[in-house]
Amino acid sequence: MDIVKMPNREQEKKDQYFQRKIAKRMGKAISDFELIEDGDRIMVGVSGGKDSLALLELLALRRKFKKQNFDVVAVHINVLELPYEVDREFLKAFCERLDVELIYRDINVDFERPSKKPACFRCSWHRRTTLFKMTDEFKCNKLALGHHMDDAIETLLMNMMYQGAICSMPAKLSMFQGNIILIRPLILLKDAEMREYSRIRKFVLEKELCPHQDVTKRKETTKMIERIAGDDSRIRTNMFRSMSNVQSEYLPIIPDKI
């Protein structure tokens, strides 16, 4: 006799509540930073990872249920020289369910050419440049990326440690004389929250096969933050808040050369 597994109603309620919480948090970022306006045509960069899939789904659902008048286009940039894989059939079905146009674009990145820049920087630069060009090509006025709070914290620390500068990832950035507005609707959400959202939604994620992925400064910075923060969620939140609480009178004025 087959055993029929009954659905866990209590867990389903918790998952639904969590999804609403995530959508509400993204909505707060959209409202607080004025990220979306009626008439916007938004290109979403979709890598196939958890953050970009969540961003695409949440924006598409917001367009549907909030009755906000904006359009969404999804773009996946495929670097031919890298051995990672994205499930194209899943991504196609995912976008069809959301009623979102999906565009693939193959690009080449010459990793063999000598460069002082690390491979991940060059890959990211080429992807971003392609996205900017495609934003214009498909007449989108905004480009949405799936960066979250942890990404912003990591970038802050990396710039402090390796560039001697205090800068990070703004929620909204005007570029190219205002022709493109870069937005980050997930900026108030943490990586752990995005992982849980991905688990609940059962996303089919890209296979991470890049040979450079484990030797980056960002990976090192992520591990450093994990060691510092431990289980204390306040630390990440406070690090993020510090970027809008700069008390310059208590900072030393440093000469150009020390």
Is residue 45 part of an annotated ligand binding site? yes
**231 labeled binding residue:** no
CA 146 – CA 163 distance, rounded (Å): 24
Please indicate if the annotation marks 77 as binding a ligand. Answer: yes
On whether 46 is known to bind a ligand per the annotation, the reply is: yes
The reply to whether 51 sits in an annotated binding site is yes
Q: Is 174 annotated as a binding residue?
A: no
Contacts of 18 (CB under 8 A, 6+ apart): 196, 197, 200
- What residue numbers does the annotated binding site cover? 45-47, 51, 77, 146, 151
- What residue numbers does the annotated binding site for ATP cover? 45-47, 51, 77, 146, 151
